[in-house]
Amino acid sequence: MAVRAKAFARPATRPRLSRRRLQQNLEGWLFILPVMIGVVAFYVVPLIVSFYTSFTDADGLTEAEWVGGFNYQRLFTRDQFFRRSVVNTLLYVGGHIPLTIGLALILALLCNRKVRGVTWFRTAFFIPVVTNVVAVSLVWNFFFSPRGGVVNWFLSLVGIAGPSWLTDSRWAMPAVIIVSVWFGVGFPMIILLAGLQGIPEMYYEAAKIDGASALGRFRYVTLPLLTPALFFLSITQFISSFQVFGIIYVLTNGGPARATSVYIYYLYQNAFQNSRLGYASAMAWLLFAVIALITLVQWRLQKRWVIYD
C-alpha cells in the first residue's frame, strides 16, 4: 500500500507511465484477472445476449428470429397475465416490506435489551435466514393445511374458522407474505441491531436529563440515528422482494388462479415452461429498468430523511 501511495503522490507531469508503474498495473490486472474472466463470461456476456434475445422470438430449440420491439409491445398492450403479475408483485412488495422492516425494528429493539437469554432470542429470530427456502416452504405448506394445519388450529382456538390458505385465491398472497416475513425478518433485524448498538449511550443520557420520555427518546434519538440502516434495508429489501421466487415456487406454484404469480414467477414460466426466451428476456430487462429507476429515486430522496451521524 505504501508503495502505491508513493506512486500516486508523484506529480503527474510525465505523459507515459514508468516501467515500474506499468509492471505494477500489470500485476494488479493479473490479480483480478480470474474474477474479471468470471464477470465477463458469466455476467457481461449473458447480459448482452439476453438484451439481444429480448428482441427475438428465441425458444432455445430452434433458430431465433428478430422481431424488433414486439415482445415489449405485447407486454404492455395485450398480456393480461403480465399485468396481473405486476399487480401481484406490488401487493407482495406492499405487504412484505413494511411488515418485515417494522417487525425487524420491534425485534431489534427487544433484542437490544440487556436481559438474560437475549442471545438465545437473537439466534432464534435469525435461524430462518440460514434455513433452506425449500424446507421452510414445505413445512409451511403443512402449517397452512386447511384441516389439521397448525395455523387453522390456532385460529380455531379463538373461534375463527381459518380459510384454505394456499388454495383460496384470496388468501394465498397473505399466506405467502406471512411466510416471507417469517423467513426474512432475521436479516434486517441483525442490521438494525447493529445500528442500535452503534448509537452512543451519551445521546440517551442527554435526552433523559432533558426530560425526554421513552417514546421521545425513540422518536428523536433512536429513529434518526437508525436512518442509514433503514435506508440500506429499504433498498436491499425492495430489490429482493421484487425478485421473490423461491417461496412461491415451492408454496403455491403461482396459483391458485395466478393469485401469487409474481413478476419473476411469470418470467420463469415464460422462459422455461413456455420456451419463450425472448419474451422472458424482455421482461427481465423491463424489471431491471424499473428497479434501477426506483433505486435511483430512493437514492435521491435519501437527502431528505437519512441522517448520517
Partner 1 sequence: MTRRRFLGQLAAVGGGLALAACGASPRAQSTAAPAASGSTAPVASGSTAPAASGAVATSAGARATATSAGSGPVATSAGARATATSAGAAVTPGTGQARQVGITSFMNWDDIKGTPIEEVLQAYEKQTGNKFENVPNPGSGTEYETKVRTMLAGGTAPDIMRVNDDYVRYYSIKDQVRDLTPYLKRDNIKPEDYYAPIYDFAKQPDGKYGAWSIGNQPRAIYYNVNLFKAAGVPLPPKDWTKQGWTWNDFLETAKKLTKGDQQYGALVYDDTGSEQTWAVNNGVADGIFAKDGKKFTLADPKGAEAIQWLADLSCKHKVQPERGLVEQGTTPNLGNNLFVAGKVAMIFRTQGTINYFRRNIPKVGDPGSFEWDVAPVPGNVDQKSEGSLICFAITKPAKNPDGAWELLKFMGGPEGSKIFAERGAWITAHKASNDFLKPGKEPPASYPANLALFAKATEFGTVVNFTENTENARNVYRPEFAKIWNCQETAQVVLDRVRRDVEEALSGKF
Point out which residues bind partner 1 (CB under 8 A).
Answer: 59-62, 74, 80-81, 119-120, 123-124, 127, 131-132, 135, 138-139, 141-142, 144-147, 164, 166-169, 249-259, 261, 269, 272-276, 279
Residue with Cβ nearer partner 1 (166 or 283): 166
Residue with Cβ nearer partner 1 (234 or 260): 260
Residue with Cβ nearer partner 1 (114 or 300): 114
Nearest to 111 by CA among 8, 192, 34, 214: 192
Note whether 152 and 162 are within 8 A (CB). Answer: yes
Give min distance, CB of 255 to partner 1, in A: 5
Residue with Cβ nearer partner 1 (24 or 275): 275
Give min distance, CB of 91 to partner 1, in A: 17
Give min distance, CB of 294 to partner 1, in A: 28
Residue with Cβ nearer partner 1 (60 or 198): 60
Give min distance, CB of 284 to partner 1, in A: 17
Give min distance, CB of 99 to partner 1, in A: 21
- Say if residue 200 is preceded by a cis peptide, omega within 30 of 0: no
